[in-house]
Structure 1
C-alpha cells in the first residue's frame, strides 16, 4: 500500500504574507530531498520531482503506526525525517506558512492517536511544532492542518541556501493496547513561500 505526499512551492506565495516586491513561488526551487525514519525506510519511498523543480511527490509504503494483540510494541510509533534543500533569492529569508497532513485513523475507545510535525532549519536551534490528538473511538479519515504566523514561525538563515527539516510522526497510546489500532499518514502538503528581508547585524 502506498501513500502519497505532495510538496508544492509554485503558485502558493499569494497565500502567504509576502512583502510587496518579494519573491514569487517560482523564485523558490527544490534542489534535493533526502528522507529517513521508521515511516520511510530506504526502499519504501518513491519520489518524483516536477520538471520545473518546484514540486516533489513522495509515495510511502510504511508510514503506518499499529497497536494491538500480537503486534510488536515497536510498531506503535512511526516517523519520517525529511531534509529539503531549497534555493531562493539572496537577501531574503524563507519559512513554512502552512502544511496539511491527511491520513486514516482507527482508534478504539480509551486509546489516543498523536500526529506531530516539527519544522526547523539546519544550523538554527529554533523549532516549531504542531500536534493533533485523535481520541477514540474514531474510525475515519483525518486532516491535520499546521498554520504559522510571521511571529511564531522559524526562518532560514540569511546569506545561505536553506536546508529545511521536517520531522513528522504518528503514534498510538497506549503502545501495549490489546484492541486493534491504526494511524497512517497518506499525504502532506506544505506551502513554503513566506518571505521577509534579511536584517543585517
Structure 2
C-alpha cells in the first residue's frame, strides 16, 4: 500500500437528491488516510485530488498499462488498483458516487475488446456501485468513456468518518491480439474522474 498526494481537504460530492432539492455539503471534510494497492498503481505512480466544488474526485495513474499479443504475459493482460479512502466530515451527512469517466489511450484491433470496471463500496455497508466501460476494436487514439451505476450505494449514517473502497481493473481479450490500453500520450496519465454527492441523513 502506498500513500498518495492529496490536494487540500477532501470534499466529496453528493449523490442525487430529489429534483428541486438544493445540494448540501458538510462544512468540514478532511482526509484521514489514503492507500493504493495493485498492479496498476506501483508506489509513487498514482495521485488523488478533489476539486474546489467538492463534486469531483480525480484519480490519475502514470503506469497503468495493459498489453496483449506476442511477447506479453498474463501479468500484462490485466491491471487493477484498489484505492481505500478514509474521510472525516460533519455528523449527519452521507455521500455516494454518481458517475465516472475514464480517459486514456487505446490501440485495439477489430475482433478484440477492452473492458474497464470501476467498483465502489463502503466498509460496513452491503452492496456496491459498479461502472463498466467497454472499448471494442477497431480503435486507436485517446478515449473518454463515461458510465453511470445501475445501483447507487451510500456511505453509512450515524458517524463522522467513512471508508470508501474503489477498485478499478482493465483487461483486453482475446490475449493473442496485439492491443493496448494505456496512459494518454499527451498527459502521460490514465485518469479516472468520479462524481460525488452529499446529502443529509434522514
Give the TM bin, normalised by the shorter chain: 0.7 to 0.9
Q: Deviation string for 1:141-173 (max 9, x for gaps)?
A: 221223348xx3001111231111110111000
Matches within 5 A, 1:116-155: 116-148=117-149, 152-155=151-154
Structure 1 distance, partners of 2:164, 2:26, is 16
Alpha carbons of structure 1 residues 89 and 9: separation in structure 2 relative to 1, 3 Å: same
TM-score using structure 1 length: 0.77
Alpha carbons of structure 1 residues 84 and 57: separation in structure 2 relative to 1, 3 Å: same
Q: CA RMSD in A?
A: 3.3
Structure 1 distance, partners of 2:34, 2:123, is 14
Unaligned runs of at least 5 residues, structure 1? none
Aligned residues: 187
Q: Is the 8 A contact 2:59 2:193 kept in 1?
A: no
Q: Is the 8 A contact 1:65 1:78 kept in 2?
A: yes
Unaligned runs of at least 5 residues, structure 2? 184-189
Structure 2 distance, partners of 1:106, 1:92, is 43
Matches within 5 A, 1:37-186: 37-45=38-46, 47=47, 59-148=60-149, 152-160=151-159, 161-175=161-175, 177=176, 179-184=177-182, 186=190
Q: Is the 8 A contact 2:127 2:153 kept in 1?
A: yes
